[in-house]
Structure 1
Amino acid sequence: MVVQPYQHYVERRDGTKNMSRFYALSIEANLFGEACLIRRWGRIGANGRTMTHQFEREQDAVALFLELIRQKRRRGYRMLSDNKT
């Protein structure tokens, strides 16, 4: 059972490379009470792709959630408020 909701949305935009991508993460409970990490990514304005990871323990889902956020920050993804200059 998921104790608290986790959600994160970041974008990466680079006009010189014609790049406009999004990456969204959330942790939700499935019908059996297990924690599911749901990943969505793709080009902004498109449906994108989805991947779901199921975990017996919420701590494992949170660990992957935080690791994916770190990876995306290193690759230049930023939250919407960070994109404005």
Structure 2
Amino acid sequence: MKKIDPQSSDNPIQSEVFPSFIKLRRIDTVRNMRQFYLLTVQRDLFGGATLVREWGRIGAAGKLKISHHVDEGQAVDALAEVAQQKFKRGFRI
């Protein structure tokens, strides 16, 4: 049995309060579905922050969408909102 590190980002029980990186997966073998969704908050050179979203089929090149925000707090809020929507659609950490 694999021991779960409580500080690990793969542990669904413990996650960061204000994450800047989330990797989600949705795998359904019956429907031949293997999707990923990657959310990253990055600071930019002008004092703001960007939310980078990448998604697609696992093992293939994904699509990319970048949204700019005034500060890192707003970008993290946007990340949390998108992650919540993806959890409702069946994505998991």
TM-score (norm 2): 0.76
User: Is 1:9 aligned to residue 49 of structure 2?
Assistant: no
Which structure carries more helix by proportion? 1
- Cα-Cα RMSD: 1.4
Q: AA paired with 2:78?
A: L
Match of 2:69 in 1: 55
Matches within 5 A, 1:11-50: 11-50=25-64
Match of 2:13 in 1: none
What's the offset of the Cα at 1:33? 2.7
1:19-71 deviation per Cα after TM superposition (whole angstroms, max 9, x unaligned): 00000001001222310000000000011000001111222111111011111
CA–CA distance in structure 1, aligned partners of residues 48 and 61 of structure 2: 26
CA–CA distance in structure 2, aligned partners of residues 57 and 18 of structure 1: 39
- Aligned positions, number: 76
CA–CA distance in structure 2, aligned partners of residues 58 and 33 of structure 1: 9
Runs of 4+ in 1 over 2 A off after TM superposition: none
CA–CA distance in structure 1, aligned partners of residues 68 and 26 of structure 2: 27
Which structure 2 segments of 5+ residues have no match? 1-17
What's the offset of the Cα at 1:5? 6.7
Which structure carries more strand by proportion? 1
CA–CA distance in structure 2, aligned partners of residues 24 and 77 of structure 1: 11
Match of 1:76 in 2: 90
